[in-house]
Structure 1
């Protein structure tokens, strides 16, 4: 028994790194956990900052609070926190902790802004959301002065799902195949395609709408339709999916490809069985980003699909409105009920995006080696079938039954 095992408790042994000689060389450094002194520094700096900001805005220079009070309180918090940390740490640790506080604050602000937008939309739309007819009826029989118990956004929901569905059918295979071409094939033309796709990420949506309007509506169909809106959404989604998929495929380790090639696999079998399964979660995220960009587009849909109050199930004929365009059409009305319908439609749009995100996470959330229960059962069943096939062929013998020995050669009788 070593010195560490005899003198340290199990909890202490779990937090020490033993040396090869069996002597503990010190506790592990905690990177993610916070000590009591760190929490005291944060709370003390926050209390001092709020007190100083209140003193400045309420007594020294009586001003209105709000954004100014928040800015002064945050800057004071950073200063007080750096001062408290400097009492027990060196200059390098002070810089590290201040930077950690700044990054954490940025994350909190970003998350707070997202929560505020979602909560504000849901609260403003709570007048329309409890009505069942809001989801099951269109605005065909409702007017601006009618109550919320008449009319709904069924036509906008159907139009959004159909337009996004058609856009995804074109965008997903084309975007992923383009990203595979950029990473697996390469060449001068690949660099040109990457440059064009990067430039298209900054393309204004109104330009995409004008392009589709001129190329499809004016020259071919001569009317606004859901198909034209889907093409405009595709133009906006495609560079996002290509760019995000390109970055994800670059992160696939090269030694995985080399191992597949060493085993005799071809390029396309390596892409299908190694590269794509490894990058599946990232590709799902790329599709989510593209869908979120396309589902909220308003100006290209306004130019290409038109505005209607009825359900249109034919994407190639007649106007077909989407949720984003319906929100714009509702909130521009001065009537309170129409504005309430607009916020209700915006809440439905947010919930639809969250539902698509959850579905994409379920599809691509597992890693390349993580199998579901059904997939594990399929693997076990395939292994059992292979075992039976090999056993029948006689290639596998039971380990407790040795192979039969060959017959001994007969001795020749000596002739006397």
Structure 2
């Protein structure tokens, strides 16, 4: 009898795992899920609106001539922006040659060789520098190089862009190095390697995907900057002549100049230049995502 009573009462003690849609907690979860989805949609609408609008406006001039010819003169209807593309590559290359070595070495010092008291204010200064408006970098390069050299140049523009690239490279490289487990460093030192050998042959290769990500993001930002170039270079519709020539064409500057023109043809080329810049940022973002997917830690 006792067993029968236990068996009869046992199902009554089982707790139901089914969700009750009318419970306040379930209602709150549904409301917050809907609000989160709405916020994502609101965030994506401006992004896709800009991309679609730039694509539609710039598609009419997207052809081979765009990448091989000079901008059209007054009265012409055909041409390209090849000079601005080459000028942008030259200025960004100068900025990268300056920012990448200094940024990576600074991050290595912060992560591997400095103590916390020294690293904390440097990291804080890096965060502050990353929030400085780009026009300040242009004024800095103008005062430091343009006034002292007595002329505008692509080198001055590269220095201004390097100032903007440095914080991104330092921060991402520092974070990538800190992600590498300490056990790897201890194991390397334990087999007789010096700190220099450990950093150069063990830590840096392990953190390389994260470092590449930071570099590509910094390059993408530098390629689209206009304000620093307003103070450091003079735009020209001719081919770039060298790093110290006073006239240097660039994509961002071309878009700025042509968009202000009353000529419909030049405005179309401004949209085409904007589309090329968007594609450049898209490619660098894809490369950074690919590099991130190769991370080991």
Alignment TM-score, normalising by the size of structure 2 = 0.84
**Is 1:120 paired with 2:50?**
no
What is the Cα deviation at residue 193 of structure 1?
2.1
Residue of structure 2 equivalent to 1:133: 65
What is the Cα deviation at residue 277 of structure 1?
2.7
**Is 1:335 paired with 2:267?**
no
Q: CA RMSD in A?
A: 2.4
Aligned-partner SS, 2:294:
coil
Answer whether contact 1:277 1:368 (CA < 8 A) is retained.
Answer: no
Residue of structure 1 equivalent to 2:237: 309
Residue of structure 1 equivalent to 2:138: 209
From 71, 85, 88, the counterpart of 1:157: 85
Answer whether contact 1:144 1:338 (CA < 8 A) is retained.
Answer: no
Supply the distance in 2 between the matched residues of 1:162 and 1:101 (Cα, whole angstroms). 48
Supply the distance in 1 between the matched residues of 2:295 and 2:276 (Cα, whole angstroms). 31
What is the Cα deviation at residue 313 of structure 1?
3.2
Supply the distance in 2 between the matched residues of 1:94 and 1:272 (Cα, whole angstroms). 55
**Is 1:293 paired with 2:221?**
yes
Residue of structure 2 equivalent to 1:322: 250
Of residues 95-104 and 192-201 in structure 1, the stretch that sits farther from structure 2 once superposed is 95-104
What are the within-5 Å matches in structure 2 for residues 52-201 of structure 1? 87-88=20-21, 90-130=23-63, 132-139=64-71, 142-147=72-77, 149=78, 151-187=79-115, 188-201=117-130
Of residues 118-127 and 323-332 in structure 1, the stretch that sits farther from structure 2 once superposed is 118-127
Supply the distance in 2 between the matched residues of 1:167 and 1:206 (Cα, whole angstroms). 16
Answer whether contact 1:284 1:361 (CA < 8 A) is retained.
Answer: no
Q: Which has the larger radius of gyration?
A: 1
Return the structure number with greater relative CO, CA threshold 8 A, min gap 6.
2
What is the Cα deviation at residue 348 of structure 1?
0.8
Show structure 1 runs of 5+ residues with no match.
Answer: 1-28, 30-85, 370-416
Answer whether contact 1:331 1:342 (CA < 8 A) is retained.
Answer: yes
What is the Cα deviation at residue 138 of structure 1?
1.1
Residues 180 and 128 from structure 1, CA distance in 2 versus in 1: closer, same or farther, beyond 3 angstroms? Answer: same
Residue of structure 1 equivalent to 2:172: 244
Answer whether contact 2:210 2:291 (CA < 8 A) is retained.
Answer: no
Residue of structure 1 equivalent to 2:278: 350
Answer whether contact 2:213 2:291 (CA < 8 A) is retained.
Answer: no
What is the Cα deviation at residue 110 of structure 1?
3.3
Answer whether contact 1:305 1:320 (CA < 8 A) is retained.
Answer: yes
Show structure 2 runs of 5+ residues with no match.
Answer: 1-16
What is the Cα deviation at residue 308 of structure 1?
0.6
Answer whether contact 1:281 1:361 (CA < 8 A) is retained.
Answer: no
Supply the distance in 1 between the matched residues of 2:282 and 2:209 (Cα, whole angstroms). 17
Aligned-partner SS, 1:279:
helix
Residues 97 and 265 from structure 1, CA distance in 2 versus in 1: closer, same or farther, beyond 3 angstroms? Answer: farther
What is the Cα deviation at residue 309 of structure 1?
0.7
From 196, 211, 219, the counterpart of 1:283: 211
Answer whether contact 1:226 1:305 (CA < 8 A) is retained.
Answer: yes
